[in-house]
A and B are shown apart, each in its own frame.
Chain A
Amino acid sequence: MIRFIRNYLVFLTRCARLMFDGDWRYYLWVGALAAVSLVGLNAYCRQAVHGLAVTGMTDQVSWGVYIANFTFLVGVAAAAVMLVIPVYIYKNEELHDLVIFGELLAVAAIIMCLAFVTVDLGRPERFLHMIPGIGKFNFPGSMLSWDVVVLNGYLVLNVHICGYLIYSRYNNRKPAKWFYIPFVFVAIIWAFSIHTVTAFLYVGLGGRPFWNSAIVGPRFIASAFTSGPALIILALQVIRRVTDYHVPHKALLTLRSIVQVAMVINVFLLANEVFKEFYTDSLHVASARYLFLGLHGHHALVPWIWTAIGLNLSALVILLMPASRSLRWLDLACVMAIVGIWIEKGMGLVIPGFIPSPLGEIVEYAPTLNETLVCFGIWAFGLLCYTFFLRMAVPVLQGRVNKSNEAGQPVAALSPVPDAPRA
């Protein structure tokens, strides 16, 4: 037991050391992310002092970009299963090792989600009130308490799976199947649940007709399985470029077909929603009208949503064409899909739910500078976490850092290897 703890501590220390190992480009990247994170922290401190009045939120529009980002990132986290399912259910070996990179992305995304929820709280120091036993947790009544359970559960599941697989590789041991396969299958179902529950946060509110629609859950899943794998496609290419880790081209193409199908479904569901709202043309169309066309002379969100629709449709067309088998087109489609879905799900779903208010008042929302800086800070922090996770995982997975070379200093290359396999 003591030997195990010692071994594990040595492993953790070596991983921690790897975080500080890299060439000037790595230091520049990490330094820049750390700087932006601190700018965000600074902005958050201002918010802690002056209250949420430093944001653009009001009693009428009581959630803004924090919750919008949160919603988007839950989707990114859930999308890790889109790598897991082909590997563990369809035995697609191309993606096998890449699963860990997807799951690490999920961990980073959940960390960002938790940060976005925390900065949205008026009294963050009272988070203890949510902990069962100490606080008074409204479970199963409140969808928000469900969300707390599923998000933290998903975090633990993914940390366990990646941590265990990486540690086994470090020890040159074959991972014991019973110790991770059951968790993988739980995590697959769990991934659907985190995004469904997040959709239910909105869907369950009878007083908000724009959200009170059964299609929001499926739309969330479809958009998540578009934007998440799109993000993973980009991340894998970055990994391939800055490390000499071999990412097979076929893996990217597998992900491409996932993004392709998910985008078709996503656009289809959006069309359903638009039809229902505008063809019915009841009073409940007000929020949708505000979003797509503007209402009573207010149209702050109109340019946003049409940008999103333009990006999503263009991404769809590119993805459907054989041209997107080439990385340049695929990357373009991925970037468009990510930005398009971020707008559609964030600004396009959260904000119009509040406009007009339940008493018919139109109060528009735009994030303030301080609020935006907090968001950038959290994104930078999340990317920083992901960078560190990869920095630790890649050399271990390549077998360059393992138990047999424990005595020496951490040795690993981050510099690009010129003759690394390229597409």
Chain B
Amino acid sequence: MSQSPCTCNGGGSGNCSKGSKSLDRRSFLRRSGALATGVAALAASLAPLRELTDMGSIDQFLQKHYKELTPAEMEKVLERIRGEVKRQYGLRPDIKDLKPMDGVEFAYCLNLTRCVGCRKCVHACVAENNQSRTPEVQYIRVLKMPQGTFDMERGSHDYAPESVPEKGFFYMPVQCHQCKNPPCVKVCPVKATWTEPDGITVIDYDWCIGCRYCEAACPYFARRFNFSTPEIPKEKINPDMSYLGNRPRPKGVMEKCHFCLQRTRAGRYPACLEVCPTGSRKFGNVLDPASEVSQILREKRVFVLKEEVGTLPRFFYYFDV
């Protein structure tokens, strides 16, 4: 094109008259050719979207924030979730929206003298809370620490001896500390995570945009992201569910420990506590002076992890002796 003595895009003066018609047609053909190629290339590059099967429903897309749902709207949402779980896992779950109880603020105490690092809590948690099995998402991380240090860089995350405990080590399970001053809540750009009156920091899985800022902010590595669609075998699903708790999560959102709120808000203990063979885990209401946790906080040598970051955890560690 550019060698032609009379082109409309070569000279810059625009005074070509001879043969401009044929040029118009040529440039028209060229443009429509380019356009057609462009559209075809665009379609080809969008092709992987045909495999997109786990798109949320329109209802879910238009759903309001948890705190703005009326009870009737919440019932509709729960009905939608029942239908989705039924379709995907073949059973109708008993899902509720359990609210915090009045006069209750939960706290967790973990006895480092007793914990033997068996990781039963880790797996009980996965089973109770419908976490993805492939890839496996775990809320509790147990560190094997050499005695004489709290430098976690010296701890081991993937210890696998014949039997535990090993001499010269202590074991420190870490999960969400349900902070009073939670950095994760502060940084969330859409208020998809917040602290409930009973002290549990929850996530609305239908509101989270998956930016993972909370995951960067958490000093306890407590938050997990669904990098792919969670996979749970049908027979492993726990049908006892709560909206802010253990209902199945979609891909692309955050999740974390919520003190098993589907159990604890119904007066039961968290799954990790029930399974612990050593009785290292204590859970209860700090507002009740007679509760076991209140007693531990009064009488034992208690500390919190990373006190210097100012998060004010509701998760305490203590020693017996």
Interface residues of A (CB under 8 A from B): 20-24, 34-35, 38-39, 41-42, 45-46, 48-53, 55, 57-60, 62-63, 117, 120-127, 129-130, 135-138, 141-145, 148, 201, 204-208, 283, 286, 296, 353-354, 356-361, 400, 405, 408-409, 411-415
Contact = CB atoms under 8 A, between A and B. Distances in A.
Contacts of A51: 226-229, 251-252
A204 B183 CA distance: 9
Interface in B16-53: 31, 34, 38, 41-42, 44-49, 51-52
B45 A42 contact: yes
Report, nearest first, the 7 A-B pairs whose CB atoms are least far apart.
Answer: A122-B210, A207-B219, A122-B252, A360-B152, A411-B14, A413-B12, A360-B153
Contacts of B69: none
A8 to B, nearest CB: 22
B183 A359 contact: no
Contacts of B31: 20
A39 B38 CA distance: 12
Given A205-B217, A208-B216, A123 B10 contact: no
A48 B49 contact: yes
B192 interface: yes
A150 to B, nearest CB: 13
B190 interface: yes
Given A51-B228, A360-B151, A205 B221 contact: no
**Chain A CB within 10 Å, residue with most, of B31, B189, B220:** B189
B69 to A, nearest CB: 12
A59 B221 contact: yes
Nearest to B219: A207
A121 B48 contact: no
Interface of B: 1-2, 8-14, 31, 34, 38, 41-42, 44-49, 51-52, 56, 61, 65, 135, 141, 143, 151-155, 157, 174, 183, 186-192, 207-213, 215-221, 223-229, 250-254, 306, 309-311
Contacts of B228: 50-53
A24 B3 CA distance: 10
A333 to B, nearest CB: 34
A20 B254 CA distance: 44
B188 A38 contact: no
A227 B211 CA distance: 27
5 contacts: A51-B228, A123-B250, A138-B189, A204-B187, A358-B219
A49 B51 contact: yes
B48 A405 contact: no
Contact of A122 (B9, B49, B225): B225
A60 B228 CA distance: 16
A356 B156 CA distance: 13
Contact of B209 (A126, A204, A353): A126
A289 to B, nearest CB: 10
Given A122-B209, A413-B9, 20 more contacts: A23-B2, A42-B44, A50-B228, A52-B225, A59-B215, A62-B215, A62-B225, A63-B216, A122-B211, A126-B209, A127-B209, A142-B186, A205-B183, A205-B217, A206-B309, A208-B216, A354-B216, A356-B153, A360-B153, A411-B12
Nearest to B145: A360
Nearest to B46: A45
Given A48-B52, A49-B52, A359 B212 contact: no
B224 A59 contact: yes
B45 A39 contact: yes
A136 B219 CA distance: 25
B41 A38 contact: yes
B164 to A, nearest CB: 19
A45 B2 contact: no
A405 B191 CA distance: 54
B51 to A, nearest CB: 5
Contact of B48 (A49, A62, A358, A412): A49
Contact of B207 (A38, A41, A136, A142): A136
A207 B306 contact: yes
A284 to B, nearest CB: 11
Contacts of B221: 59-60, 357-359, 361
Contacts of A55: 227
A412 B225 CA distance: 52
